[in-house]
Amino acid sequence: MPTYKYPRPSLTVDCIVFGLDAELELKIMLIKRDIPPFEGEWAIPGGFVRMDETLEQAALRELQEETGIQNVFLEQLYTFGDLGRDPRDRVVSVAYYALINLVEQKVQASTDAREAYWFPLSKIPKLAFDHDQILQTAITRLRSKIRYEPIGFELLPRNFTLSQLQKLYEIIWNRSLDKRNFRKKILSMDLLLDTGEVQHNVSHRAAKLYQFDETKYLQLKDKGFNFEV
C-alpha cells in the first residue's frame, strides 16, 4: 500500500433530486437517516465514494440504494468542503442534481435511510450536515439555468399544455409571469410540437397539448439562449 505525506480527507457525494408531481408541484427528495450522525433527521441522499467507482457511479448507486430512484441524468453542481461540515471526519462532498417526473419513479428507502419522501420546496424541514446550503445552491442553479437552457423535458409529462409549462417556470422562479408574453416568447423559439390533441376530462375549456421537439430541445441545451419574460 502506498503511503502519503499528508492525511487524506474522505470523499462523499450528495444527490439533489427535483421532481414535478401530477399537480405540478415541484418537490425535493429527502431521506430520514437511520444511522449516526444525525440519526432520525432528514437529509439529502448520498454517501461515501468507494475506491473502485467514479463520482457519478457513486452518486447513482447511493441514490438507488437510499431511495430506489434510478436511470436519471445527474449533473454536477458544486463541491462542498467547509471544515467541520461532517462531525465524523474531514469530509469533502461533490453534489449532483437531477430533474425527474415523479409519476415515472418509484421510491423505496433502504440501507441507511429510514424513510424516503418527496417534500414540497415550500415545506422543507431542517436538514442534517450542511444540506440546507447544498439545497439552496441547487435551487439557485436551477433558477439560473432556465434563463439559458430549455427546461421541462425531464419534469413534465410527454404531452402538456402551455399553461402547465408556464406554471413550471413560475414555480422555479417563484413569481407570476404574464401569460401573453410567456406564450409569445416560448412559441417563437420553435421548440414545441402541436400534437393536434386537447385535454380530456377537464372542467374548463380543453387546452391544446404540446410536446417538446427533442432534437431542437437538445440543440438549445447545447448552444444555450437568453430566456427573459
Active site residues: 115
Burial class (CB in 10 A: 0-12, 13-18, 19+), 45: buried
Q: 116 has which bridge partners?
A: 31
Cell numbers standing for residue 67: 431511495
Burial class (CB in 10 A: 0-12, 13-18, 19+), 51: exposed
**DSSP tag of 125:** P
Burial class (CB in 10 A: 0-12, 13-18, 19+), 123: exposed
Cell numbers standing for residue 83: 471544515
| CA-to-CA dists, residue 78 to 51, 56, 96, 136, angstroms | 21, 13, 7, 12
CA distance 93 to 36: 18
Residue in 60, 87, 94, 90 with CA at minimum distance from that of residue 74: 60
Q: Are 105 and 11 a contacting pair, CB within 8 Å?
A: no
Taken in order 207, 211, 212, 213, the sign of the CA dihedral is negative
